[in-house]
Amino acid sequence: MPVDRKTLPVRRPSLASAAGTAGLLAVATFVNYMAWLGWDREKDVLPDGTTTGPYQPWQVVGVALGLGVLAAVAGRRGHPVIDAVAISLTMTVCWSVNAATSDDSGLWALGAAMVLAGTSLGAGAVAAIAARFHRGSR
């Protein structure tokens, strides 16, 4: 017999559960950032004298995959909005502190806005998709 999803009760997280999830996600996001990007502050000097970095492509892919896993887990637990906010704010603060202390041009603020937008959209999308599968499995 098919189940009408509109009649299924929607589980709303309690305030304590939401705060706990946000705290855990903030800590996990910080650890993910430090593991992949936080330790690398040295720019690479190319043979023509220009500089790149400090991050290598594999580091950025690693941090993005880690954030994706965190977003999916939180979304499956029923916290997609909390997930997107906690992950994006924590990632932006981590990146901003590192960038502001190593950039004299002031362009780190533009980069911080892009990190906030990218992590908000990415984490929000992954969490929403994971939450959709969570509801569909009931």
Give the start-to-end residue ranges of the domains of the chain. 17-37+52-136
Q: Are 122 and 84 in contact (CB under 8 A)?
A: no
CA dist 94 and 88 (Å) reads 10
Task: Give the model's pLDDT for residue 79.
Answer: 82
For residue range 68-97, what is the model confidence (pLDDT) as tens digits?
999 999 898 888 888 899 999 999 999 999
Task: Give the model's pLDDT for residue 25.
Answer: 94
Tally Cβ neighbours within 10 Å of residue 118.
15
Task: Give the model's pLDDT for residue 6.
Answer: 58
CA dist 42 and 64 (Å) reads 20
For residue range 20-36, what is the model confidence (pLDDT) as tens digits?
889 999 999 999 999 99
Percent above pLDDT 70 for the chain = 87
Task: Give the model's pLDDT for residue 96.
Answer: 95
> How would residue 11 be classed by pLDDT, with cut points 50, 70 and 90?
low
> In the predicted model, what is the mean pLDDT of the chain?
87
3-state secondary structure of 79: coil
Task: Give the model's pLDDT for residue 135.
Answer: 58
Which of the residue ranges 49-58, 77-86, 91-100, 102-111 has the most confident prediction, judged by mean pLDDT?
Answer: 91-100
Element (H, E) at 18: helix 15-33
Task: Give the model's pLDDT for residue 18.
Answer: 79
The model's pTM is 0.82
